[in-house]
Structure 1
Amino acid sequence: MHALIDKIETAFAEVVYPGDNNLTDSTYGEEPAALVEEFSGKADWRALDAAFLDQAPDGWCSALSFFSGPALKFYLPAYLIADLKGQLQTADPGFRLCWGVTPMAAGKKIAKAWGGGTIGESTSAQFELFGAAQVAAIVDYLWWKLESLGGYDPTIEQALENYWLPREHLAGQ
């Protein structure tokens, strides 16, 4: 586990805080505004407490769903490390990294009020921001997550097979 934490910290070490105005792409509902309020000025993901991450924003536990691509790239390592340490009860970075790229979800339409397109298109566009080292760290985290769940989780398996492993292969070329 310590080697994986080191790999995540190294892979994301140079990611720049996206700025208070680039924390979310959504303006629909209360959660995006709460996310901006709670994450504004939090420019060091290493300083974030796992209890904060687990409830943010405002007890909805939905920050991972509302981050912009750059904000997800910046804050994801804090969530991954907290999960590795067993400090998350509600927030689930594994689910966030998997569901949108599974065959079950990828083709589902997104309402025009939320940007339109499909879940797969939106998710892939955010994940394209990850560099090769970050993708490798995410893949290793997902293998760890799968093993921690007893070696069987169809969502993680499908995401690895359909998105993350091919992406890792392409990123390594």
Structure 2
Amino acid sequence: MSLILLMGMIGILLVLFLKRPIIDTIAKDNKIVYKFQNANWFQNHWLSGLFLFGLNAVLFFSTVLILYLFMFLFIPFVHFFVMLLAVMISIYVWIIIHKSWKGTKRNRLKLGAVGSSFYLFLTMMFVFWLVTLTPSYPGDDTFMGAVGLVFAMIVTSMAFVTCMVITGFSKA
């Protein structure tokens, strides 16, 4: 499992280093980009940041729900493909938001900070759960729970950094 996490982190680092060619794969004449660019509410950095926050929440919780539903199927490794697809969809959405935003660099940074803060809140929640992790009954081993929470902290912090870099720090 840690090898898959390491491969995912390397993949995200590659996305961050090669973000310009990846961002350029989506044209400015994309229908979704065009609709967002012409929406007056979207050009307000607070409203678009809250919209991105909500999109991140919907994407995260829908992925968790799909993974929970696939838990009942005994098909091995299907959850890896679900997680890979979720990452690709998230990066696509962040690039759409990036392409659609027309504003100053400072407001772009605010947009990215508000939108990606969902993953920062999740990271802090997982840290809290790790710090307050107690056994369910006397003699219960909490090691695997701690490992799961550490993995969750790594994944959500990487999602925070990636969302912030793509939406907040990239040039238009």
Calculate the TM-score normalised by the size of structure 1.
0.27
Calculate the TM-score normalised by the size of structure 2.
0.27
Q: Which has the higher contact order (CA 8 A, sep 6+)?
A: 2
Q: Which has the higher helix share?
A: 2
